Amino acid sequence: MALIAVLGGTGYAGRHIVAEAAQRGHTVVSIARSVPGERVPGASYIEGTLLDVPGLVAQLTGVDVVISAVSPRGEMAGLVRPNLEALAAALPDSVRIGVIGGAGGSLVAPGGPRVIDGEFPDAFKAEAFELIGVLEDLQSEQSDRDWFFVHPAGGFGAFAPGERTGKYRTGGDVLVTDAEGVSFISGEDLAVAVIDEVENPRHSRQRFTVGY
């Protein structure tokens, strides 16, 4: 079993990842700026923020995997990319890093274009480009650190929670859609895909898309 830390562990993606990891018997720590009143049984909760990298590193001693589910919006806009880069530089190379990105950086078809290059909502472009930047930083990293970056389906979010089926498909760099062209994944099944990747790494130093 792994010791997994989830940054942004009380947000939509984060809390599902925490719950899935705990359910499977992993030691999981949720790190967020506040501890929620309702907690996942078997998980530990720590107050912390990506904006305090030295303090965060001290809290992450001994972890095997750090998963960032922090969204670059609100007061975090423009701050997720530089602080994740600083965190990666400060952690031991033995710590695997996972990042939950967005659909915007995934490709519409093999070879492109990207989802963000088409009809993409202006309101979400800034955070999508920042997460694309996070991916570019990981891809250019020169150390031996292992990492993975997940592009959820276009219909992923609290606005369409769905349910747990335990099933999903991965699409490499290409957005996963169904036969009707719909791109969707529930919060719980995204978490299934993430913890499957932790337990059985299949995307070493790679990004991958997830959907039904």
Domain range summary for the chain, segments of one domain joined by +: 3-211
Radius of gyration of the chain (CA): 16
Tokens for 33, please give them.
């700026």
pLDDT in tens, 100-121: 999 999 999 999 899 999 999 9
Q: Give the neighbor-by-neighbor strand order of the sheet with 206-211.
A: 44-47, 27-32, 3-7, 65-68, 96-100, 147-151, 206-211, 169-170
pTM exceeds 0.75: yes
pLDDT at 37: 85
The H or E element spanning position 157 is none
Q: Which amino acid is at 143?
A: S
99, 106, 12, 139: CA torsion to nearest 10: 10
**For residue 180, how many other CB atoms are within 10 A of its CB?**
5
212 vs 208: CA distance, rounded Å: 13
Architecture of domain 3-211: 3-Layer(aba) Sandwich (3.40)
Spatial neighbors of 60 by CB under 8 A, at least 6 apart, are: 5, 66, 91, 95
The H or E element spanning position 28 is strand 27-32
Q: What counts of helices (H) and strands (E) characterise the chain?
A: 5, 8
pLDDT at 112: 85
7 vs 31: CA distance, rounded Å: 5
pLDDT at 10: 96
Residue 62 has pLDDT above 90, yes or no: yes
Question: First CA to last CA across the chain, in angstroms?
Answer: 27
Helix then strand then coil, in percent of the chain rounded to 5, is 30, 20, 50
pLDDT in tens, 133-181: 999 999 998 899 999 999 999 999 999 999 999 999 999 999 999 999 9
pLDDT in tens, 175-206: 999 999 999 999 999 999 999 999 999 999 99
Burial zone of 96 (CB within 10 Å; 0-12 exposed, 13-18 middle, 19+ buried):
buried
